[in-house]
Amino acid sequence: MSDRVIVTIKDGIQKLTINRADKKNALTQEMYAVLANSLNTAEKDADIRVSVITGTADSFTSGNDLMDFLQNPSSDEEKPVIQFLHALANIRKPLIAAVNGLAVGIGTTMLLHCDLVYASEDATFSLPFVNLALVPEAASSMLLPKMLGHQRAAELLMLGDTFTPQKALEFGIINEIVVPEKLEETSMAAAAKLAAKAPEALRLTKSLMKGDTDLVLKQMQAEGEVFGTRLTSPEAREAMQAFMERRLPDFSKFS
């Protein structure tokens, strides 16, 4: 198992810690595989009642490792990132996120699938897909408009600007903002409360709240197909080149 995702299980709580601080916890296919396998294992393990996802140092996750994705551009369902997205959609047990810092791309969209989300005061959020000439993932193109309305969702997905924990709280993406030194304590206390509750009642309640999982999976598939083609598009090549050269992309030649 990769040491870039630390998995611990204690008192019915599975804690998944993204541990690649030198790369702002950017996710590779190997890391997605550990996350997906851990969530899927939790579903089958009666001793695991709840899962918690967090990060190390100053980042929750800065999103996808761009070089890793450029080298693996397919949207095949066997790909670890797709398996992780499916796990997020299918998981019936409670899932908590403790956002300790930077939350970019999937670092924000995965929160839409969590049941409780706690964020540090110094956390930041962004959905920069369009800025990279890409499209949203994790069914966020469906879930965000449903949660926020079209205009607020467009603000986050089309402008792609960084936003604060205060805006995330206002928009209902997170439950609570806490001081950094209390983040783990707060999230683990909530996990302990859930772990002590009737497990089947929790699963059924979550299922009733979430509604039609097939619609979410269908949207993920549609997004994934477009995302895969966008990775090799001329616009994306310009965006990636600009990112590597630390300059603004020039989209003026595209129509």
- Could you tell me where the beta strands, DSSP code E, fall in the chain? 5-10, 13-18, 50-55, 59-61, 95-99, 102-104, 116-120, 124-126, 176-178
Q: Which of 36, 20, 28 is nearest to 66 (CA)?
A: 28
What is the spatial distance between Cα 130 and Cα 141, in angstroms, rounded to a whole number?
Answer: 12
Please give the pLDDT value at position 71.
Answer: 77
What is the gyration radius of the CA atoms in the chain, in angstroms?
18
User: Which residues 6+ apart lie within 8 Å of 71 measured at CB?
Assistant: none
Q: What is the pLDDT of residues 3-18, one digit of tens each?
A: 999 999 999 999 999 9
Strand duo 13-18 + 5-10: pairing: antiparallel
What is the amino acid identity at position 96? I
What is the spatial distance between Cα 53 and Cα 137, in angstroms, rounded to a whole number?
Answer: 19
The CATH code of domain 5-180 reads 3.90.226.10
Query: What percent of the chain has pLDDT above 90?
Result: 92
Q: Do 32 and 84 touch, CB atoms closer than 8 A?
A: yes
Q: What is the pLDDT of residues 23-54, one digit of tens each?
A: 999 999 999 999 999 999 999 999 999 999 99
What is the amino acid identity at position 130? V
What is the spatial distance between Cα 141 and Cα 153, in angstroms, rounded to a whole number?
Answer: 8
CA distance from start to end of the chain: 45
Total-model pTM: 0.96
Q: What is the DSSP letter of 156?
A: I
What is the spatial distance between Cα 159 and Cα 29, in angstroms, rounded to a whole number?
Answer: 27
The strand order across the sheet containing 116-120 reads 5-10, 13-18, 50-55, 95-99, 116-120, 176-178
Tokens of 200: 């089947």
Query: What percent of the chain has pLDDT above 70?
Result: 98
Please give the pLDDT value at position 76.
Answer: 73
Q: What is the pLDDT of residues 64-83, one digit of tens each?
A: 998 887 777 655 778 999 99
